[in-house]
Amino acid sequence: MSLTVILNVLVHCVFLVTGLIGNIFILAVNFMDWLNTREHNPGNLILSGIGISNIFLQGTVVFQEIAFFLYPGFYFKDWVIYVILALQITFSFSSLWCSTCLCFYYCVKIVNLQGKLFYRIKARISTLVSWLLAFSVVLSWSAGLPAYWDLYLLVSITKFNISGNITTEETTKYWSRCNCIFDIYICIASAAFVIISLTGGTIISSLCKHMRRMKQNNEGFGHGKINTHLSAARTVTLLLVVYVIFYGSFTLIYNPLGFPDDITMTLCLILISCFPSINSIILIFGNRKLTNVLRRLFGMQPSGGNTEVNVTTN
């Protein structure tokens, strides 16, 4: 076994461990909170959905890499490749759309907009979150599962005649039988990115207005609502950035134009593999309760103040 193979497997295993620790921590804290209150907090429900999606996504990526390097005879069976691909698409969409629900939830909870529709949404946000999560799961599986039957590996060989010398070039790429599934995936991901961008922009706009109001009233900027706005804006922005990077890497590998070169492929796989770990870190440090539990585990004093997203109806 070459050093490159060992390092590659080791890197993905490290990301697996860190990703599992981060996302299981989120699930454990939310479960303990539910045991104490016996109430279904919408925010905890969304975070748990993201955590579960990330765990399964991380598992499929690491399984793919280990099988590719250590058990190539098994990995290159058609059904294995297509099952892995379908599951990765499903769980990546599930993570993305659950995060979209989280951004929408933050926006509704924090921002004060005028209109009966907005007040109805805010009043029924707990029930609405459950339906949005159900929609996210159904959408993800509906988009991911057809990849097993629709996508296939197409290997094409092109011959070139250069100064009398015949050279061949082999191109491997995923191809769609219906010639539309990649367009569907782009639309699904783009819709989520648009919603995240809109909610993030709305939160940032609300933050700027609130800061200007406080400046006019000669108030300090240590106000709890300012901290809530900052925390939510930071979380939404970071989520948008990491998802764009993740889907950019995913698209470079799984696209109808062909696989990238070895270096780009390796870099993309590393970015995909580390995504669940980074995502969990963003979620933990964007949530005061999770951050305080983590600080207690390390023997540190929980941070004061309140940056939790709470209902505001004024």
Closest CA relative to residue 148, chosen from 60, 78, 94: 78
C-alpha distances (whole Å) from 115 to each of 5, 54, 120 are 59, 36, 9
Q: Which CATH class is domain 3-150+179-297?
A: mainly alpha
Q: Where are the domains of the chain?
A: 3-150+179-297
218 or 233, greater pLDDT: 233
Query: Where residue 144 falls among pLDDT bands split at 50, 70, 90?
Result: very high
Task: Please check the confidence at residue 134 and state whether its pLDDT lies above 70.
Answer: yes
Which pLDDT value is given to residue 220?
52
Mean pLDDT, the chain, whole residue set: 83
Concatenated DSSP letters for 114-180?
Answer: -SHHHHHHHHTHHHHHHHHHHHHHHHHHHHHTHHHHHEEEEEEEEEEEETTEEEEEEEEEEEESSS-
* Most confident among 33-47, 87-101, 202-216, 227-241 (mean pLDDT): 87-101
What b/e string do you get for 284-309 counting C-beta neighbours within 10 Å, with b at 16 or more?
bebbbbbbbbbeeeeeeeeeeeebeb
- Reported as a pLDDT band with limits 50, 70 and 90, residue 311 is very low
pLDDT of res. 66:
86
For the segment 278-289, what is each residue's pLDDT rounded down to a tens digit?
Answer: 999 999 998 888
- Enter the pTM of the model: 0.86
What confidence category does residue 242 fall into, taking pLDDT thresholds of 50, 70 and 90? Answer: very high
**Model pLDDT, residue 312:** 42
Binning pLDDT at 50, 70 and 90, where does residue 314 land? very low
Q: How would you label 119-146 residue by residue, b for 16+ Cβ within 10 Å and e otherwise?
A: eeebeebeebbeebbeebbebbbebbeb
pLDDT value of residue 192:
94
Report for 59-73, 105-119, 143-157, 181-195: range of highest mean pLDDT: 181-195
